[in-house]
Structure 1
Amino acid sequence: MNVTSSTVEGITVIEASGSIDSKTASEFERNAIAAIQGKSAAIINLSNVDFLSSAGLRVLLMIYRQIKAQNGKVVLVGTSEEILDIMANTGFLSFFITAETLEEGINTLKAA
């Protein structure tokens, strides 16, 4: 698991790679929450995430709640069909905007 954050066109982008499971969710949470402090928009790039457990879903929900408290939006980018299916089946997908590319995610947030 590797987590990085950057700012692209004024928007916080969190990029994760590897599996987000019970062993790695705390690292993902720590890095992601630090990156979004006081932010009202974020993009989470999951294009290099190969597995997302319930612990990972919990962290995504925490991120959503923090951004939502700032009246903001979260865009998930590059999410695999398998992860999208899991999120749809659990109702989590309704909290997020999805985009295929980082550019599409940035444009979506700028238009909001």
Structure 2
Amino acid sequence: MNVTSSTVEAITVIEASGSIDSKTAPEFERTAIAAIQGQKEVIIDLTNVEFLSSAGLRVLLMIYRQVKTQSGKVVLVGTSEEIQDIMANTGFLSFFITVDTLDEGVKTLKAS
């Protein structure tokens, strides 16, 4: 798994690739939590994530809660149908705004 953070139009973007499971979730968590400190607009790009375990879901929930304490929003980009199904079945999908592309994510946050 690889995790990077960047800024696009003053929005923090966290991009992950590979699998987010019990072995890789701690790295995902460290990178993401450090990147979102004090941020109100966050995009998590999961376009290249092949698998998301319960450990990955836990990290997404931590990110959501931290951003929400700032009265912010989290947008998920490029979630596969499988990941969306998992998130819908666990009730997690309702916490996030989901879009297909990074450009849509930026537009969504800028419009709100």
2-side partners of 1:59 and 1:27: how far apart? 10
Which blocks of at least 5 consecutive residues in structure 2 are unaligned?
A: none
How much does 1:20 deviate? 0.2
1-side partners of 2:93 and 2:79: how far apart? 11
Q: Deviations over 1:18-56 (max 9, x none)?
A: 000000000000000000000011000000000000000
SS of the aligned residue for 1:38 comes to coil
Partner of 2:47: 47
**Counterpart residue type for residue 100 of structure 1:** D
Aligned pairs, how many?
Answer: 112
Partner of 1:76: 76
Partner of 2:91: 91
2-side partners of 1:69 and 1:106: how far apart? 21
1-side partners of 2:40 and 2:69: how far apart? 8
**Counterpart residue type for residue 2 of structure 1:** N
SS of the aligned residue for 2:79 comes to coil
Partner of 1:56: 56
2-side partners of 1:93 and 1:43: how far apart? 14
Partner of 2:19: 19
SS of the aligned residue for 2:44 comes to strand
Q: TM-score, normalised by structure 2?
A: 0.99
Could you tell me the percent identity over the aligned residues?
A: 82
Which blocks of at least 5 consecutive residues in structure 1 are unaligned?
A: none
Partner of 1:102: 102
Structure 1 stretches of at least 4 aligned residues deviating more than 6 Å after TM superposition = none
